[in-house]
A = this chain, B = another copy of it.
């Protein structure tokens, strides 16, 4: 008797899922919907939008490569421009993984704090943590040239809490959606004090889901350069949204970071040099060797909508009660290596 937790989690980036086609009445699992998506629903990720980080081999001499997809415009482009310059200058070569805090982040960069940065890096203002949003008239659809379609996840208990947004509850914003593989939250700009909330026009911003990559910084008004990066390896720390820049997400190899020993210093920093995993090189995808072609499932596709709804209402055989809803970080955007024909 092999007790397994679940037949189809859909949380692994490249989970292989069994078929239940022989069942009398079946609902496809999220992974099955993804597997059945049409070729034209997948969108190629340009190699120049990848950041490829090669760590020193592990104890068994196996290579460790982490691949990050950088975010598209208009999000965080000031920091991403810096990151492109740093990678081109081979700045990270010889730096290291310096911090691993359980259920939080892995962070990397220059442990010595003395390495000179290239010239010409931008100083990005805090206002760039979010993007202004111009509301449209179409219910349940985010307009503009960025967010072209909201995914309605439900059913839910009542109507939308935000008339123009999708029928989705979010604990941290008014609604959420995706564009170009990036999870986004939508809200009014609220300034919260002890006694009041001031509401100004709409904003959209990328959110801190598992695997998202952000820019370490000092206290405000510093926003970080992009030389010190981290990725989320635990429950989504959404309190960091709009407080820190997100620049991309890990699309392959996050296990090389998430399974590292936790640091024993404050905030999970390593205390000894020998604990830090050396970074051999960081390159843009078009300047790295042996980079496969990656593609993501279009967040505007019918298959993605079906996938998101299946994530919110699991009815594949393992499940007895669909939840009737989900949060944005439980809808990881599918990414795959482009199939070889």
Contacts and interface: CB of A to CB of B under 8 A. Distances in A.
Interface of A: 1-7, 9, 11-12, 15-16, 59, 99-105, 107, 109, 113, 126, 155, 157-158, 161-162, 168-172, 174, 190-192, 197, 209-211, 214, 216-220, 224-225, 227-228, 230, 234-244, 254-255, 258-262, 266-268, 311-314, 317-327, 329-330
A6 B266 CA distance: 11
Top 3 closest pairs, chain A to chain B, by CB: A171-B327, A3-B228, A3-B216
In this complex, the member of A103, A105, A209, A220 whose beta carbon has the largest number of chain B beta carbons within 10 angstroms is A103
A323 B102 contact: no
A268 B330 contact: no
29 contacts: A3-B216, A3-B228, A5-B214, A5-B267, A6-B240, A6-B267, A9-B267, A11-B101, A12-B101, A12-B103, A59-B59, A102-B255, A103-B211, A155-B197, A157-B162, A169-B171, A171-B171, A171-B325, A172-B323, A172-B325, A210-B234, A219-B318, A234-B234, A239-B312, A239-B326, A243-B314, A243-B318, A259-B259, A259-B261
Contacts of A220: 318, 320
A329 B210 CA distance: 14
A255 B262 contact: yes
Interface majority SS (helix, strand, loop, mixed), chain A: loop
A240 B190 CA distance: 33
A151 to B, nearest CB: 13
B235 A235 contact: yes
Nearest to A268: B12
A225 B7 CA distance: 18
A202 to B, nearest CB: 13
A11 B237 contact: yes
A21 B44 CA distance: 51
A267 B15 CA distance: 7
Nearest to A327: B171
A234 B312 CA distance: 17
A260 B259 contact: yes
Nearest to A220: B320
A210 to B, nearest CB: 5
Contacts of A258: 102-103, 258-259, 262
A209 to B, nearest CB: 7
A197 B171 CA distance: 23
B5 A105 contact: yes
Contacts of A109: 3
A280 to B, nearest CB: 20
